[in-house]
Amino acid sequence: MDWQTSEDTVAVRPVTDADARSLVGKPPASGAWREGDPVGARSFATIGTVATEAGVRLPGVRIAYESWGTLDADRGNAVLVLHALTGDPHLIGPPGPGQPTEGWWEGVVGPGLAIDTDRWFVVAPNVLGGCAGTTGPASLGPDQSEWGGRFPYLTIRDQVAAQVAFADALRIDRWAAVIGGSMGGMHALEWAVAAPERVGRLAVLAAPPASSADQVALNSVQTEAVRADPRFRGGDYYGAADGDGPHRGLALARRMALLNYRSPGELNDRFGRSWQSGVSPLGHHGRFAVESYLDFHGNRFTRRFDANSYIRLVDAMTSHDIGRDRGGIAAALGRYTGPALVLGVDSDRLYPLEDQRVIARHLLGALDGEEPTLVESDFGHDAFLIERDAVGAALHRLLDN
């Protein structure tokens, strides 16, 4: 038995023969979308040079995004949805050429749904440093070779500065709502603090006000797993043949992450001590079912993501501290006074409820006062993607406010 659930495919279902066939053959050196690949539903906006907090100037930045609905004449109905670490701009829709996965928020975004595309103009950009079309390590630099290991360190604030420039390029002065979960929740918080006048409503789902020492430690072992792969080559692997890229390190990092996205109870209830096949894992080279689950997702991930992007995005999450140089978390959050949904999951071991309590306590417009809106779920951190009815109902409350 194996099951397919994660940030990239959130429907809970058994792995099919088609899923297994998708892993036939050697993985590419990078799973990034590359210039010349099918565009799919992407659009692009050029925002020029981005100056990072570390003092690096990144020229010719381009943001890839998808959008749904119609922008009103007064440009006042635009909603910004920000993706998690391994997400992309593809909120809804099937996989296809240039888009290897189905939409990650099916059932939440669309006509008549919580984020109603008959009412709202919904925009979902790929984050700066990502690998789904926005400028990142797999993009070509000014010398027409991939940035690779030369791509600069980014913070959450750098990425939001790029998103602000992106909004300017779209001529959207104020978002009706800014919505994000996990890493996207970090970006949403940064929007509310850095540019509160441009955020009509705020939704922070399963995200912290700052990355704790425990969270930084979890991030560090993942990035080190990628760097330790001898085929990583310091980040310069783009010319490698299929099977000769850093897929082992990237798959291991993904396996580590999945353990934080799910709850112990859910894994125990689903897999127990069952075997993957009739071959015993007790000295006879068989596998426990949960090991096979992690292997499948690690291997699948390497075919749609980029190792350098993974490091840059995880490092950005490590940088997250909404109170840095702003007088602390409480003072920073006090800058935003609009309506805010702060949602947490009772079984989340990556960003536990206490993180959301801190946020709710200091946001004047939090819908449920000093307590976060609670989602009860066995699915752990991933519940903000999986529990669509509960999350959708909470978003309805915010967007109707």
Pairing of strands 121-125, 57-68: antiparallel
Q: Are 58 and 52 a contacting pair, CB within 8 Å?
A: yes
Strand order through the sheet with 177-181: 43-51, 57-68, 121-125, 78-82, 177-181, 202-205, 340-345, 373-375
Note the pLDDT of residue 13: 42
Distance CA 6, CA 288 (A): 19
Tokens of 72: 């009103």
CB-based burial, 158-179: b 16+ in 10 Å, e otherwise: bbbbbbbbbbeebebeebbbbb
Find the catalytic residue in 67, 182, 211, 319: 182
Report the SS3 class of residue 250. helix
The total number of residues shown for the chain amounts to 401
pLDDT by 10-residue block (mean), the chain, 401 residues: 36 45 78 96 98 97 98 98 97 95 97 98 98 98 96 98 98 98 98 98 98 96 97 97 96 90 78 79 82 84 96 98 98 98 97 98 97 96 96 97 82
Q: Is 362 annotated in the active site?
A: no
Which residue is catalytic, options 2, 158, 229, 348? 348
Instruction: Judge contact between 45 and 61, C-beta under 8 A.
Output: no
Q: What is the pLDDT of residue 270?
A: 80
Residue 185, pLDDT score: 98
Give the DSSP letter string of 327-345: TSHHHHHTT--S-EEEEEE
Q: Is 379 exposed, middle or buried (0-12, 13-18, 19+ CB in 10 A)?
A: buried
Q: How far is CA 321 from the centre of its chain?
A: 17
β-strand partners of 4: 13
**284 labelled catalytic:** no
> Partners of 343 in the beta sheet?
205, 373
Q: Are 314 and 291 in contact (CB under 8 A)?
A: no
C-alpha to C-alpha distance for 198 and 178, rounded to whole angstroms: 9
pTM over 0.95? The answer is no
Here the tokens at position 26 are 């050697």
Residue 182 is among the residues annotated as catalytic for this protein: yes
